Chains A and B, each alone.
Chain A
Amino acid sequence: MPAIESAAKKKLSRQQYLDLYYFMRLNREVEDTMTRLFRQNKIVGGLYSSLGQEAISVGSAYALQKKDWMAPMIRNIGALLVKGVPPRDIFTQHMAKYTSPTKGKDGTSHFGDLENLHIVSPISMLGDLIPVLTGVAMAGRYLGQKIVTMTWIGDGGSSTGVFHEGLNLAASQKAAFVLILENNQWAYSTPVRRQVPLENLADRAKAYGISSYIVDGNDAVAMYSTAKEAVDRARAGEGPILIEAKTFRRRGHAQHDPAEYVPAEQREYWEKRDPITLYEKFLTGEKILDAKGEKEIEDKINTLLEKDREFAENSPMPPPEFASEGVYCTGDDCHKIRPKWERPISEVTPPKSSVEPVWIVEGFGRGKTSSRENAPIHFGDTQPAPEESTAKTKSLAKPAAKPPARKPAPAKAAARGKARR
């Protein structure tokens, strides 16, 4: 199936339009604040910028419901903010403070929240989150939760082996999973042309037999509209969906990298297409935003960030003895997650879960060399034949095709085990 252009732009409510604007502005201001902290030597490690990519993080995460799960990548601070992470967590993480979500054990956006916000922490190895979020979607379906999972990957990360393994598993499982491929055209210093011989990275979806979209990643409303449509389709059971968001990485790989390898014309082109400026133009044109409204949002953000930055700066570093703690989860307190069943457990436990191991397909294999006999199909996608027909054809099947006796021994063992609990 060919990649389709972005979904038709949705008409949003005034509040939704303003939400998108608020989070994009917040995204940028949080990062600007951190750039200042970096220059003051207050950021312990690296600092990665999503300048010019805010519409992608914000627009896609805004399409998720509270119960949905996501895992951000390094340039998805905006997605964290939309999902409900306070800026102070982002500041303390980067500053390695004891008050940070990882208490100083990891930096950047490498943190998560399993219990409340449903965020899985990224790691630096690209693509690893794809099978993980596939697994979250599989578990969600198993528990009957009707959740959708989302993660992001760059043009660079789309060349990893686990990108393929993960997306293929998601496709074969029809997992309710949306993958946002941020094509910012640079994997560190390597341009996309030297990574992938494809015009559109969305074409990768063809290999997995899944749907895909291509969207202007600098257009907030297009990004949200496309993500929302994909999330709705995934939730409805259509399987995973890949969205390629075309954009540009306006800073270097990280703060240390001046990115002199980027051609000046390319930079100029994209700087004129700043997603926040474009969106402001749209909002003022639609009379959703005026100077007064903008000032209010600015003040709200400044007040919040001032407070959170101060909190982070005044927070202590973790005590040295904390280094040796937490390798293992010991005791029951460290694992509080209990499966939240939203379907009857009886559906996944015997006898309801039990399936017949074999059924007969009449005239299986009609090729020249085929015996043209009826053959047993061990599970597979084929629906079992109706009762009578199965009974009739069974007698015609070759003796060798008789299914091996299965299950009695463990069944007894299980019954014993269960009885004693």
Chain B
Amino acid sequence: MAPITFLEAIRQAMFEEMAADPSVVLIGEDVGVYGGAFKTSEGLLEKFGWERVIDTPISESAIIGAACGMSYLGLRPIAEMQFIDFIACCFNQLTNFVAKGHYLWNAPAPIVVRGPSGGGVHGGPFHSLSPEMYFLHTPGFKIVYPSTPTDAKGLLKASIRDNNPVLFFEHKFLYRRIKEEIPEGDYTVPLGKAVVRREGKHLTIISYAAMMHTSLEAAAALAKEGIEAEVIDLRTLLPLDEETILRSIRKTNKCLVVHEDTKTGGISGEIAAILFEKAFHDLDGPVLRVASLDTPVPYAPTLEEAFLPNAQKVFTAAKDLARF
């Protein structure tokens, strides 16, 4: 089977789920006629028609509200944010209405909110967001942020079938840059399970999404200097796979967290806290963080490059950590 892009993996997941289950519908801005701003839904309208591929006004709160309402009659809507930055426009509808429904009144809302996120493509401050931590602090969501086409397809299918609201972030830098042969036929990748992408014994690098590839690049460079880094791809941020993290740290005794989200309040802080609570005596050094600057995402390539983590920054931090 020919390798496919990350973007094609997303499209296949939606296509297959809609073909298999008439309760799956897609709602969002320009998802139908235009096929989505990134063409992730190209061909869906032609196949499944107006009633299942719904173009909406520019109204993110209404999109989320309507998707939630549709789920109450047994549908499984996928709601697209044209760029994930716009998820801020429906923050209230998501955090107050959707996320709390099951806890408060036994109303599960099996909806998937997905959209292109992340920087590195010079999208500027309003088209480059890493929004995960706004929502990680809201009980009720599941948060998925895949890094490979295989995972993107399998995790999106699992998200659509999940009975909870899932926020599914697609790093747009990866959309067309990576290709991979994916398993044939119907498969899912379970939510809440991290994966070890590279085995190592000297330290553990924990990452996800585009930064997972950056971390692997750094790990390859570290190997040339005799430092074997283990690389964990979180894949799901909520619920967090503590078991895989703890198992690795108990082996390597050192932890570096790499993420594209800004540093303060990033998931690295949460992971550090978990390690201090549950693996304090296993740590031989500080928990280090490589993350974006605590600024909005700047536009100019020189500025954005300074803003984002890169393999060199990861390499340097990992070498510092390895000395302990």
User: What residues of chain A have their CB less than 8 Å away from a CB belonging to chain B?
Assistant: 69, 101-102, 105-106, 110-112, 114, 120-121, 123-125, 128-140, 142-143, 145, 149, 161-162, 165-166, 168-169, 172-173, 326-330, 332, 334-335, 337-340, 345, 348-350, 353-357, 378-380, 406-407, 409-411, 413-421
12 A-B contact pairs sorted by A residue (CB < 8 Å):
A120-B72, A121-B104, A129-B65, A132-B72, A135-B69, A136-B70, A139-B75, A142-B52, A166-B65, A356-B46, A413-B12, A417-B185
Which residues on B sit within 8 Å (CB–CB) of A134? 62, 65-66, 69
B interface residues, Cβ below 8 angstroms from A:
8, 11-12, 15-16, 18-20, 22-23, 25, 32-33, 35, 42-52, 54, 56-57, 59-75, 77, 92-93, 96-97, 100-108, 110, 139-140, 142, 163-164, 184-186
Q: Contacting A334 at CB < 8 Å: which of B20, B61, B73, B163?
A: B163
Total number of A-B contacts with CB less than 8 angstroms?
241
Other-chain residue from B61, B105, B163, B185 in contact with A102 (beta carbon distance below 8 A): B105
Bound state CA distance, A411 and B46, in angstroms?
10
Residues of B within 8 A of A136 (CB): 69-70, 72-73
- Do B16 and A413 touch (CB < 8 A)? yes
How distant is the Cα of A419 from the Cα of B19 in the complex, in angstroms?
Answer: 11
Contact A335-B110, Cβ < 8 Å, known A139-B70, A162-B92:
yes
Residue contact A110 to B45, C-beta cutoff 8 Å: no
Task: Determine whether the beta carbon of A139 is less than 8 Å from that of B19.
Answer: no
By beta carbon, the residue of chain A nearest B102 is A329
Residue pair B72, A114 in contact (C-beta under 8 Å): yes
Complex Cα distance A87/B163, Å?
Answer: 31
Partner of B69, one of A101, A131, A357: A131
**Complex-state Cα separation, A364 to B5, whole angstroms:** 38
Query: Given the interface contacts A326-B102, A340-B73, does A165 sit within 8 Å of B163 by beta carbon?
Result: no
Please tell me which one of the listed residues A106, A140, A332, A406 contacts residue B73 in the complex, with CB atoms under 8 A apart: A140
- Nearest residue (CB) in A for B12 is A413
Residues of A within 8 A of B110 (CB): 329, 335
Q: Which 10 A-B pairs have the closest CB atoms?
A: A135-B69, A131-B65, A135-B66, A417-B16, A339-B74, A407-B43, A353-B49, A329-B108, A165-B59, A165-B62
Assuming the contacts A130-B65, A134-B62, A327-B103, asked whether A411 and B57 have C-beta atoms less than 8 A apart, the reply is no
The reply to whether B48 and A350 contact each other, CB–CB distance below 8 Å, is: yes
B321 CB, nearest partner CB in chain A, Å: 35
**Contact between chains at A326 and B49 (CB < 8 Å):** no
Does the CB pair B74–A348 fall under 8 Å? no
Residues of B within 8 A of A337 (CB): 72-74
State the Cβ distance, B33 to closest chain A Cβ, in Å: 5
Interface contacts beyond A112-B105, A407-B43, A411-B15: sample of 13 additional A-B pairs, CB < 8 Å, sorted by A? A131-B59, A131-B66, A135-B67, A135-B72, A136-B70, A138-B66, A142-B52, A166-B62, A327-B103, A327-B139, A337-B73, A356-B46, A415-B19
Tell whether, in the assembled complex, residue A105 and residue B52 are in contact, meaning their CB atoms are under 8 Å apart: no
Assuming the A-B contacts A329-B108, A334-B108, A414-B15, are A354 and B62 also in contact, with contact meaning beta carbons closer than 8 angstroms in the complex?
A: no
Residue of B18, B42, B44, B73 with highest tally of chain A CB at under 10 A: B73
Cα(A105)–Cα(B105), bound, Å = 8
Per the bound structure, the CA–CA distance linking A114 and B104 in Å amounts to 13
Residues of B within 8 A of A69 (CB): 72
Give the nearest-CB partner of B17 in chain A: A417
Q: Is the CB of A172 within 8 A of B57?
A: yes
Residues in A neighbouring B18, C-beta threshold 8 A: 414
